[in-house]
Each structure stands twice: as C-alpha cells, then as structure tokens.
Structure 1
Amino acid sequence: MHSLVLALALAAPVVTAHVWAAPVKAENAANRKTAAKPKLRKTADQAVQPGEFANFGQWQEVAAFIDDMVERHGFDRKALEILFREARYVDSAIQLVKPAPPGRPKNWRAYRARFIEPMRIQAGADFWQTHAQALERAEQMYGVPAEIIVGIIGVETVYGRNTGNFRVLDTLTTLGFDYPDTPNRTARMKFFRGQLEQTLLLSRESAIDPFTLLGSYAGAIGLPQFMPGSIRNFAVDFDGDGKIDLRNSQVDAIGSVANFLVQHGWQSGQPIAFPATVTTTSMNGNPDNRWEAYIGQGLEAKYTLAEMATAGIAANGEAPADLPYGLVDLQNGSEATEYWLGAANFFAITKYNRSFFYAMSVVELGRAVRTARGG
C-alpha cells in the first residue's frame, strides 16, 4: 500500500461506518511527477494560466485547509502536505463549471434528445433485465419505482459506461481553491472544499489512496455519480458483501440511489408530475401574469391546486387535489414553454441535480425503458 495511504489511514482511529471496495488500479508513481518547475503562488487571487502547473502546497488557503483537517479530524500534517504537492490543477474543470454564455436560451427538447434516445433506452432495458431482482427489492424496501432508479443511473452514466476519468482529488482541490469568478463563487468554493474534506475522510475510512478515486470534472463518483459526501451519508451496501462500492457494484448503486431519494423527500406511492396549462390572458383579453409568481419558488411542492387555479394554472391530468405542487417550466427556446405541476417526488429528484430538465429527463427515460421492456 502507498505510504501516503498508510499515513492517512493511521492518523486517526479506524472508522468502520463507511467502507469501500478495492480501488481501481493506481497510477504509476512516475505519472504523478511533473518536470515543470512549480511557481510560487501564495493566494488564489493570482490566476493560474491554462495548463500551468500549480503547486497547491504553496497556497495559503490550502495551508489553512490542512490546519483545519489536522485540528478537527486528526490527519497527519506531513501526509497532507505531500498529498497537495502531488495534486494537479485541472483547468478543464474550471472551464466546464463556467456558466453558459448569456443570451443562449434554454431548450428542453434539445436537452431531452440527449438522454431519451435509442441507445440509452436499450442499455436501460438490458440493465433492468440483468438487475430486475435488485430493482424489485429496492422498490419494496424504499418505495422508489424501478424506473426512477433506472432513469437516474441511465442519465448519469449510461449504466456505468461513462463514470469519468478525472482524479477526484485534483478536481475538488482546483474547484475548491480557484473556482471561476462568478456571482456564486464563494458558495461554490465552500461546497467543493467541503467535498474535498469528505474525500479525505472517505479515503482514510476505506484505507485507499485518494488519487485512485476517479470521477466527473466536478468530483462525482461511480455509476450513480455520488459526490464524496453523499457516499459517506447515503450510499448503502445493497449487495450484502460487506462493503460499499459505487464504482463496480451495480446493485450497491441501485440501493444507494433509492436511499438517497428517500432521504431527500421521496414519498412511496405518491405521483411525480402532471402536465399543466397556464392562462396568460384574462377573460376580457387583457394580459394576466399572476401565474409568474409561481415560477422560481424553490425546489419544493408547496401550493394547492386551488391556489394555483386562481392564478390561471391548471393540471391536465388526474392530479390529486389533496397534494401540494410546484410549477415546473421547461423552456423551449423560441418555442412555447412546456408546463408541469411537480409533486414532492419530482422535487426529490431535483435534490440529486438542481435542474427541472434533469428531473424530467430521469422520469421520461425511466418510462421509455419500462415501455421498451413491455411494461
């Protein structure tokens, strides 16, 4: 085992609440070294140029982070200093988290077409067929329909085909200490530093080299693309082999997705969403924009059908009158916006990814896969 891993693992009492499978093959040690001479960089305010080597061990903010990890979690200081000297700056992660250029309209139909397509539907049908027993067990235990679990794993990684090749430690360090200049920069840096903390704790608890954790450019790991904190808090050993392995165990991924949704508000047996119409003109033909007050009201269902009806919002289906809803707007560029009423279960999916487009893609992919199976 790498000496760094031993140092991290032995720096504090062993924690057994969260375990992991054997890590993927570690990189050759020679690949971790760079011939570039590190440039002294005291703070994150001095911008790193694209492709430039950054010695995170020289950053003041990183040093403060190390101090905190030593004080609060009992990590070995020297081990962390070595680790951050070996971490790489990932400029592509910086570019990928930047918001889309202003003026580009959102387009639900274009977004949908990326996920509700034949290859992904067939892969989902195959996945469901292979893991039908685990999906049924998850549905019985957690109350989350198999099609929703299948939809999430399909949208996230095409059932494990695209889990990401970024070293998680590199991307989280980069984003945690040098997030691009955006209005939410401070909050996002805090989030990614928190996930970096979770990565180190997860690695120590599992006695694995943190550099072997691969994932997305934002640090998400495995078939269901859980962030490190979500792995520690919501992942489950669903295949019963005594370890949690979201990178290689499809069954653990199935149970973990279901548990995540339940822990974020999923209600067994309740509906997800209903098509809706919005009336934009009053009976005398004048503009009526009262419905706009229901747009952008957070990721939760909190309005009755009666309340929304007074603003010209109506469900186009058998929406139960005794449930709360939220207005979901799926913009289609220059075309007409598509409206839905989302129940609590719809908004539980948005806790996985804070996007109406994402949640509806999960729902529709799951339905398409179920249909393809003859369900």
Structure 2
Amino acid sequence: MRILYFSDIPIRRNSFGGPVVLHRLLSSLPASELQVISTNMFDLAPGEEEIPANIWHYPLIRLIRTRLSGWYNLLMLALSPMLFRRLGRNIRLLKPDLIVTVSHGYAYFAAAFWARRMKVPYVIIHHDVYATTFVKPAFAKNWINGRFAEAYQGAACNFCVSPYLTAYYSGLFNGRAITLFPGREDRSVAPHRLNKLPTEGLTLGYFGSINSEELLDDFVALANMISAGGHRIHLVGPVTDNQLNRRGLRVQNIICHPRMAQADLEKFVSENIDALLIVQESHAIFREHVSVNFPSKLVEYTRFQLPVIVFAPGYASASKFAAEYPEALIAISSPAEDQEVWSVMTYLLDSELRQRLGQRVGELGERLFDSSVVRDVFLTGIKRS
C-alpha cells in the first residue's frame, strides 16, 4: 500500500508534541510505502532519523504570528486547495492508495480535496478540537466548522488521540471515530530517587511547552501553595524567571531550565525528580479545549516510573483520565484549596508509596501507550480503509 502523509504537522524524531508522536507512528511503515508532503508552518530544527519530506512553503507565513493572524488563517483556509494545485500533478504521480493527514492548519483541507478529486480514501488524525487550534474572525466560525464537517465525514477513518475527543466527535458525526492514543518511546527510564526520603520537601518535574499566560498562572498558584512545605517545581521549557515573577510567584520555588536533549532530560529526571506534574488551564476560556484533548506529557511521563500529579479542573481530560485510573494517578482539582494540596504533598513523602505509584504508572503506560499497541490500532484502522 502506497501511503501519502500530507499535513502541516512535520514529522520529527527529536522534537515534542505532535511531530514526535507522528514520527513514532509513521516510522513503523516501510520506507518504500510512505511519501511525505509537509509545509513551513512550523519552524522546527531537523531531527535525527527524520522521514524525508517534500516541504511546501506558504507565502508570508510570518503573518500567523502577528495581529493579522486571524485574517491570514481565513485566507489560507479558503485558498488551500488552490495553493496546492501545483502539487496536484506530483500527488498524481505518487499514485497513493491512501492519504493520511492531521486536522491542523490548512494542508488538511487540501489533502481532503485532492483525495476526493483523485477518488483515493483518506484518514484524519485529530489531536484537538479543530476550531480551537487557531485564531479566526468570529464571523467565519460557521463556515470553518462546515468545511471541517465535510472533510471529517468524507474520511474513511477518523483517529482521535483521546477517548474524550472520540466521544465529542462521535456525538457530532454518528460514531465515526477511533481512539488512537499517542505512542511512547519503547525505553523505560529507571528512577533513582524513589527510595530516598526528601529532606527538604518534594521535587516535582514538568517538561514541555506552556502556551498561555493562564497556564502559567496555574503553575504559579500551585507553586505558591506548596512553598510552605519546602516543595519545588523544576520546569524544563521556554519559561523565564521574569515571567513567573510577573505572574505573582512569591517564593523562588520554580526552577527554570532550557529544553534538554532526550538523554540529558532522562538523566535529569531520574536523578532529581520525585514526582511528575501535569497542569491544564483552569480558566473558563480553555474549557472546550482541555475537556477533550489529551496531554501527551502523560504518555512520556509513564516511561519514568514516577508518581504523576494532575493539577487541573475536574472537567479536564487529564482529571477525567486520573479518575479512571486512581490506582496510578493523583488528581488535584484546580483551583484548589491549600489544604487539599498540602494533603497530597504530605501523602507523597512516603517513599514506599511513591515506588508503588511509580510502578503502576509504568504498567499503565505499557498497557495503553506502548508503541506496538498504538501502531496496531493505526494499522488496523487504515487497512479497513
């Protein structure tokens, strides 16, 4: 089967979020069967073992990072099939038996357009509620939703990365979705601190992007609450001390680190972290988004065999997931009272308890997120297409 991956989301091994998840998923396919067309929407450095790709360049792409982003997004969505018209001949020459795309950006609509034009089945991977992933003029919402519905319903198969997103879209489109969890790296990382009694409080770890000031506010709120017990958070990602101070951090118990190479991150977490942290926005404007998406950090965290604390509203996907697996995950509903947070931190001071929780987290990851399990779901879905 000749498969064409056609999307704005690049495929990168040494990256984060969607690109690395896609690499794990698609790298299992024989190289002779996979062709890739991606775009310049995301300016990522090339990763190791990157799957070769043809890169399409959008005009004036820098505008998506300006005040004109809403209008630029609308224009690109409207023109996407036309913009990719020159690629039509190349796509026909590839003679794909199946087109795979991701519902993000603009190439997604072009992929669906060309698949229908060529009478080739296509499948879509959904990471988020599409309408929440970009800025657009308010008057265009119904038009964009209509375009999305047309592409969704025309797909041979729709994969959603969380059961909550599957339920959301199945409710809208009569059950036409399959849950495809993100896959994790095959290697587990042995923790070194689980059997040690913290002498100066617990050290929590978080690594990844913080894409909103509201999420930063939730981090600061948690850090302020745990500071009295001498607990701290190591945050690996693009955040600065000045940002934290501006958001109201009272005690310097969030330690910021730049992004690390995978091997360095594994060593750092193994030697320094007592428990890992997932935070989702508590602000009402993010409710639709956080209620159905799936924090890919949870998938990565299971490799470290450490306790995982979820700090999120009760309706958030991570909180709902923790409620389904209470034997492995600890949830604190945000916004939280100090006493609730202190109780959890005191509970986790028990090193034997942390060992048990870490083991259960690792077992959960093997059961749900193992790369072979995820690939089997994906391959079964596309074969049925």
Report the TM-score range of the alignment, normalised by the length of the smaller protein: under 0.3
| TM-score, normalization by structure 1 | 0.22
Q: Relative contact order, CA 8 A, sep 6+: which one is greater?
A: 1
Structure ID, larger Rg: 1
